[in-house]
């Protein structure tokens, strides 16, 4: 009786180990497939757009979330504008680089810092620089 119970326990443990191994293997395969699909989509998207975007981050610390969001939005708009292949009607405050329109000249001036990489707002504690005063204010609230 004891031998049968022991044999049953060993079989159950073996089945559980095999099931766990199969689940982990399937998960790894799914992750690899997803990564390959994402890479293919990005390569095809860049090839279709004909645009290669290089982002250089010369800061050791992580940038302000506003700057990152604005940069991603700008890249998306530049790629979209290129794909469309048609010129939009120019407004009074339009970026000469990417043709993005703004309601005020000051918004255009702030936007141009993306293209020039100008960072006029500097932290007096750690000397980190920001494109917008809001980035510096967020940095001061959260870091110092």
* pLDDT tens digits for range 12-29: 899 999 999 999 999 999
Of 137, 12, 122, nearest to 59 by C-alpha is: 122
Confidence of residue 77 (pLDDT cuts 50, 70, 90): low
Say what the pLDDT of residue 44 is. 63
Q: How far is CA 97 from CA 86, 88, 109, 112, 122, in A?
A: 15, 13, 12, 9, 26
> For the packed helices 65-84 and 105-116, what is the interaxial angle rounded to 10 degrees?
90
Say what the pLDDT of residue 1 is. 76
Query: How far from each other are the two terminal CA atoms of the chain, in whole angstroms?
Result: 70
Residue 143 has pLDDT above 60, yes or no: yes
**Where are the strands (E) in 16-130, listed by range?**
121-122, 129-130
Question: Of residues 115 and 2, which shows the higher confidence score?
Answer: 115
* pLDDT tens digits for range 27-68: 999 998 888 888 777 666 655 555 444 445 555 555 556 667
Confidence of residue 121 (pLDDT cuts 50, 70, 90): very high
What rounded mean pLDDT belongs to the chain? 78
Of 111, 93, 110, 113, nearest to 102 by C-alpha is: 93
Beta bridge partners of residue 121, listed in sequence order: 130
* pLDDT tens digits for range 78-102: 655 555 555 555 558 888 888 889 8
Confidence of residue 74 (pLDDT cuts 50, 70, 90): confident
């Amino acid at each position: 009786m004891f031998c049968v119970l022991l044999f049953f326990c060993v079989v159950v443990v073996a089945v559980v180990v095999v099931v766990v191994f199969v689940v982990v293997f399937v998960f790894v395969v799914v992750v690899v497939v997803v990564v390959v699909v994402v890479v293919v989509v990005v390569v095809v998207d860049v090839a279709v757009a004909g645009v290669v975007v290089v982002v250089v981050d010369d800061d050791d610390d992580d940038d302000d979330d506003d700057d990152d969001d604005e940069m991603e939005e700008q890249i998306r708009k530049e790629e979209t504008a290129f794909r469309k292949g048609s010129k939009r009607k120019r407004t009074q405050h339009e970026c000469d680089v990417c043709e993005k329109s703004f309601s005020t000249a000051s918004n255009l001036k702030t936007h141009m810092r993306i293209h020039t990489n100008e960072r006029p707002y500097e932290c007096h504690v750690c000397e980190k620089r920001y494109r917008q005063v809001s980035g510096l204010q967020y940095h001061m609230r959260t870091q110092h």
